[in-house]
C-alpha cells in the first residue's frame, strides 16, 4: 500500500516471533483492560486490542505478540506478557 501511495517503505526485518491470545469469559458490556503497561514493559512485546464492544461467553479480545532470539524465547515473552493482562 505504501508503494502505491508513494509513501516511504520502512526497513523490513525478520525475527522469530510468537503470539498469545487474550481471552475473556462471561458477560461483559464495554470491557476494559488492566495490566497492559506491565505487559509492554518487556522489550519486543506489543498488544493488539480488537475493540470488541462486549463479551458473551468465551471470546478472543486481544493478542500479545513478542519477538526474541529464537521462537522459544519469543513464545516465553508473549506468554509472560499475556498473563499480566486482564479483561474486566
Domain segments of the chain: what residues? 17-87
Give the separation between CA 66 and CA 74, rounded to whole angstroms. 5
CATH C-level class of 17-87: alpha beta
Q: Write out the DSSP string of 25-38.
A: EEEEES--EE-HHH
Q: Is the pLDDT of residue 10 over 90?
A: no
| Res 88: pLDDT | 96
DSSP 8-state assignment for residue 41:
T
Tens digit of pLDDT for each residue in 32-87? 999 999 999 999 999 999 999 999 999 999 999 999 999 999 999 999 999 999 99
Reported confidence tier of residue 3, pLDDT bands at 50, 70, 90: confident
Q: Is the pLDDT of residue 2 over 90?
A: no
Q: Is the pLDDT of residue 11 over 90?
A: no
Amino acid at each position: 500500500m505504501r508503494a502505491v501511495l508513494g509513501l516511504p517503505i520502512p526497513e523490513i526485518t525478520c525475527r522469530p516471533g510468537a503470539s498469545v491470545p487474550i481471552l475473556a469469559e462471561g458477560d461483559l458490556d464495554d470491557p476494559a483492560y488492566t495490566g497492559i503497561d506491565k505487559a509492554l514493559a518487556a522489550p519486543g512485546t506489543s498488544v493488539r486490542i480488537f475493540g470488541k464492544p462486549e463479551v458473551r461467553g468465551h471470546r478472543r479480545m486481544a493478542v500479545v505478540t513478542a519477538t526474541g532470539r529464537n521462537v522459544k524465547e519469543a513464545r516465553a515473552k508473549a506468554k509472560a506478557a499475556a498473563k499480566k493482562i486482564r479483561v474486566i
